[in-house]
Structure 1
Amino acid sequence: MSVSFISRIATPKKALSTAAVAAATVGMALSAAPAHAATATGSAADAKTIAHQMIPDAAQFNAFSRIVEHESGWNIHATNASSGAYGLVQALPASKMSTAGADWKTNPKTQIKWGLDYMNSRYGSPAKAWNFWQANGWY
């Protein structure tokens, strides 16, 4: 066999090998991304922005944010495998959030509205819900 024939065979193999390594690297990087980063609007930051717009009082927003961070990491699809609690605020049963809107499974605004209503009706405010959470590890 001539050297040029071997070069023509080796070069495509090298190119395929390089492409495979690159694809595997991208795949590993994508799979390493935290699950809580994704929401229907694109990111946890988007969900936080929506919450901040809905809860303009800084102290109440911070309390709400702390609860959501602990409960779901701002993942609107967070699901507790043992209890079935779902969403940003881990509603149980999850279907309770339907009272805030039919899109409760995918819309952070709907989940935030339900969670805020829940915290206000059960505890009086997100800050009081956070105080309870700190004392009990749940709310």
Structure 2
Amino acid sequence: MIVSLFRRVASPKKAITGAAVAAATTGMLFAAAPAQAAPAAPAAAKAQSIAHKMIPDAAQYKAFSKIVEHESGWNVTATNASSGAYGLVQALPGSKMASAGSDWKTNPATQIKWGLDYMNSRYGSPVAAWNFWQSHGWY
């Protein structure tokens, strides 16, 4: 029993090593997920303000905002490393947004216009797109 107790107390190195491996593995798993750089707060706020003006209905704006928050965190240059999806609404390919404007890579208004048009044409509204997103984890 004393040997068993001693082994438990004497093995914190193993526990720490195991925890470090687990943390590194978890970190690698998170890194493998679609990582997006955090947008600068002013840029995200600007994009949200633009969207609010373009989507005056509170329920539709809220649904649009939830999708964008999940997809890109309001980062206009968010890129999914796995799929290549791009922008606020994670268009795939991102170049699809060129139909809304040639400045699609950097202009939040262009991306919002394209995303709103996409949600309206495919789902009928941002609320319907958000309902689909909640059921499927994508839209």
Bin the TM-score by the shorter chain.
0.7 to 0.9
CA contact (8 A) 1:36 1:44 kept: no
Distance in 2 (CA, whole Å) between partners of 1:43 and 1:114 is: 18
Query: 1:26-45 CA distances to partner (integer Å, 9 max, x unpaired)?
Result: xxxxxxxx933238xx4201
> Normalising by the residue count of structure 2, what TM-score does the alignment of the two structures yield?
0.72
Q: Secondary structure at the match of 1:36?
A: coil
Instruction: Report 1:2-81 matches (<5 A).
Output: 35-38=37-40, 42-81=42-81
Distance in 1 (CA, whole Å) between partners of 2:129 and 2:44 is: 21
Runs of 4+ in 1 over 4 A off after TM superposition: none
Distance in 1 (CA, whole Å) between partners of 2:66 and 2:93 is: 21
Match of 2:106, as an amino acid? T
Query: 1:80-109 CA distances to partner (integer Å, 9 max, x unpaired)?
Result: 001000000000011000000000000000
Distance in 2 (CA, whole Å) between partners of 1:106 and 1:89 is: 13
Query: 1:4-42 CA distances to partner (integer Å, 9 max, x unpaired)?
Result: xxxxxxxxxxxxxxxxxxxxxxxxxxxxxx933238xx4
The structure with more radius of gyration: 1
Distance in 1 (CA, whole Å) between partners of 2:49 and 2:120 is: 20
Match of 1:68, as an amino acid? V
Aligned length in residues: 104
Match of 1:72, as an amino acid? S
Q: Does 1:84 align with 2:70?
A: no
> Normalising by the residue count of structure 1, what TM-score does the alignment of the two structures yield?
0.72
- Once the two structures are overlaid, the 10-residue window that deviates more, 42-51 or 76-85, is 42-51
Distance in 2 (CA, whole Å) between partners of 1:80 and 1:109 is: 20
C-alpha RMSD of matched pairs (Å): 1.4
